[in-house]
Structure 1
Amino acid sequence: MIIKSPRTATIMLLLVSLFWGIEYVLIDLAVARIPSHTFNAIRFALAALCLLPLLWFSQKTTKPLPYSSLIRAGMLLGLLLFIGFYTQTEALRFTSVSNAGFITGLSVPLVPLLGLLLFRNAVKKSVWLSVITATIGLYLLTIGEHLTFNKGDTLVLICAFAFAIHIILTGRMVDSLPVIPLSIVQLVAVSVYSTSAALLSPDPAFYFPEAEPISWHQQLLTPVIIVAVLVAGILGTGYAVWAQSASQKLLKPHKVALIFAAEPVFAHISAWLFLDETLGEKGMIGAGLIITGMLIAELSDRNHPPQMRPLDKTAAPE
């Protein structure tokens, strides 16, 4: 499969935001029963397994893979994902979904800001306009009248920085490394990091210390855990990491961050459909501003279209 259209890449990332928005409730229910490290270890292992067939069917060259570069890059990107997903998952035990959604969305302004500070990436005025517009929209959509800051909010703030740096570094690495193997190495790395953290923790791996002891198979075979792992592992992790890496062959980091700002919009839509929750006036305005920010970025990029390149190369370019 070769994708050459930035529009297709945008749709792929919008689907990621959709899956992330839907899985919020499932993960919130899951981490109330199973520790975050254990949940993420299983989630990312499943995601890596799901991408193996894609690697097999995409082998169209006899070129050797750059294993050393892949492992180094994958371990670094995987570390950022490990930090981001652990802090976000753990934070849901202490803070509201609204606070988590907005603070995670701070990765939108952090991407161009950190790109400018770390790598001197040039940022157009239209980018700042779109970022500011989307950030205001995130605030109105998720916070409402006030923001209370607690331990969970601090964890989500760390998550926002980790995701922002991950987006920036992914944009630099996918130009020289094959997308599918890089995605798989990242996923395996997160699973290994999470497994190590679960084993090194003094707390039980499959239940919380204050809860009644339970065996691993009794815990993992409960419907809530099964559904959460399948949805988060296959769609919210396996597909998401591959889609982000592939799309960043064509899309700039700031635009990827802006598309991901749609995540709380989808979260609220799913809550409206399944939980009969409504956005309210501020929420509607916020959702509109997020979409406006994405449109500003899209229209400004039309004057400078990116170079079209195949995305699914399984060997590094010469």
Structure 2
Amino acid sequence: MSRTQANLLLTLAAMIWGSAFVVQQIGTGNLGTISFTGARFLLGALVVLPFALRQFRRVEREERPFQRRDWFGLTVTGLVLCTAAVLQQHGILRTSVANAGFLTAVYVPLVPIIGRLFLRRRVHWSVWPASCGCLAGTYIMSGAQGLDFRLGDLWVLSSTLFWAVHVILVGIMAWRTRAPLVVATIQFLVCGLTGLVVGILVEQPTMTDFFGALYGICYVGVFSVGLAFTLQVVGQRFTPAADAAIILSSETVFAALAGFIFLDERLAAVRIAGAGLILCCILAVELLPMLGKSRPLS
């Protein structure tokens, strides 16, 4: 797969996530945050499981056997994913969709920073201004008139560190195992089982609570988890983590487009400008490295 094709998969993942923000806010019913997260990721794991088993057998037979370090890395990735998703979901229920969309995008500049500080990764110079530009564009799309910060915003903001680490881990594990569908399924299983066990112990949900959130679980579990997160894992095998984070930030743009198409929400000119800034940053990080053999900043 070429890097351009991988980036298109990441863009499709962002499109699906953008449409799921509203569902995550209104589709949980009375089900608790942790239980809802566990249920949707476990459903996502079941969606991808048949394809992952076939890929696992092929990789084991033709390329390389899975090692203990692989399973450990996949387990850690799933636990980080569970933490990020629970913190974000808890915050989404206690703030506006606009605030949640903007604050989640804070992970975009964190990815190259973490990669540089802890993994000694060098990135093309265009990643730094593009990351800041995506953050600014998301802020503009969130209103550009000052965000009404609430308690839920702190929960969403705390999730960004774990989202940034998750993006980096996904890239590492997809490259190491050469089995992106297996990576997706195992992290979903770990996240789903952990969420359900902890949710049942802490939140003590009833079957009525699960049935009340069934539509939300099905939509987010099948599309946002089973499809979009799998597209992320596949795409990140061929795209650097910092670039992937910038492309995935376009979920804010697609959330606004979904609101326009399905809810007839009109975008003011300033918010259209914010969307344009995000798209320009995505194009910049994709095209500028091709203009010449620019030396990455060390």
- TM-score for both structures, normalised by structure 2: 0.91
Distance 1:304-1:28 versus aligned 2 partners, 3 A rule: farther
Q: Alpha-carbon deviations, 1:189-222, whole Å to 9, x = none?
A: 0012101211221x4324xxxxxxxxx1x44334
| 1:296 maps onto 2:284 in alignment | yes
**One of 27, 40, 43 as aligned partner of 1:43:** 40
Rounded to whole Å, the distance in 2 between the matches of 1:122 and 1:39 is 38
Q: 2:234 is matched with which residue: 234, 246, 256?
A: 246
Q: d(CA) in 1 for partners of 2:40 and 2:53?
A: 21
- The residue that corresponds to 2:275 in the other structure is 287
- Match of 2:27? 30
Distance 2:168 2:42 in 1: 24
Indicate yes or no: 2:199 matched with 1:198: yes
More helix by share: 2
Aligned residue type for 2:163: F
Moved more, 225-234 or 162-171: 225-234
Distance 1:304 1:175, change over 3 A: farther
The alpha-carbon deviation at position 146 of structure 1 amounts to 0.8
| Alignment partner of 1:257 out of 241, 245, 258 | 245
Question: Distance in 2 between the 1:276 and 1:190 partners?
Answer: 35
Three-state SS of the structure 1 residue aligned to 2:126 is helix
For 1:162 and 1:109, how far apart are their aligned partners in 2? 13
Contact 1:102 1:143 (C-alpha < 8 Å) held by counterparts: no
Q: What pairs with 1:88-127 in structure 2 (closer than 5 Å)?
A: 88-127=88-127
Instruction: Report matched runs for 1:1-318 at 5 Å.
Output: 4-58=1-55, 59-60=57-58, 62=61, 65-177=65-177, 178-201=179-202, 203-206=203-206, 216=207, 218-222=208-212, 225-303=213-291
Q: Deviations over 1:5-28 (max 9, x none)?
A: 222211111111111111111111
Kept after mapping to 1: 8 A contact 2:38/2:196: yes
Residue type matched to 2:103 in 1? I
Sort the Cα spacing of 1:303 and 1:175 in 2 relative to 1 into closer, same or farther, 3 A.
farther
Structure-2 separation of matches of 1:56 and 1:66? 13
Alpha-carbon deviation of 1:124? 2.6
Q: 2: distance between equivalents of 1:276 and 1:166?
A: 34
Task: Check 1:304–1:107 CA distance in 2 against 1; reply closer, same or farther (3 A cut).
Answer: farther
Shift of 1:240: 2.3
Tell me: CA distance 1:116–1:143, structure 2 relative to 1, closer, same or farther (3 Å).
farther
Once the 2 structures are TM-superposed, how far is the Cα of residue 303 of structure 1 from its aligned partner? 4.9
C-alpha separation between the residues in 2 aligned to 1:65 and 1:48? Answer: 22
Q: What SS is found at the alignment partner of 2:121?
A: coil
Cα distance, 1:304 vs. partner?
7.7
Which segment is superposed worse, 241-250 or 74-83? 241-250
The amino acid across from 1:182 in the alignment is: V
Q: Structure 1 regions of 5+ residues with no counterpart? A: 207-215, 306-318
Q: Deviations over 1:87-135 (max 9, x none)?
A: 1111112111001000101111111111111112113321112112211
The alignment's C-alpha RMSD in Å is 1.9
Give yes or no for contact 1:70–1:181 (8 Å, CA) kept in 2: no
> 1:33 corresponds to which letter in structure 2?
N
Distance 1:66 1:60, change over 3 A: closer
1:114 counterpart SS class: helix
Percentage of matched positions with identical amino acids: 27
Counterpart-to-counterpart distance in 2, 1:73 and 1:304? 36
| Residue 256 of structure 1, CA deviation | 0.7
Report if the CA contact (8 A) 1:10-1:259 is conserved: yes
8 Å CA contact retained: 1:47, 1:187: yes
Is the contact between residue 137 and residue 290 of structure 1 (CA under 8 Å) also seen in structure 2?
yes
Alignment partners' CA distance in 1, 2:3 and 2:215: 32
Contact 1:101 1:142 in 2 (8 A): yes
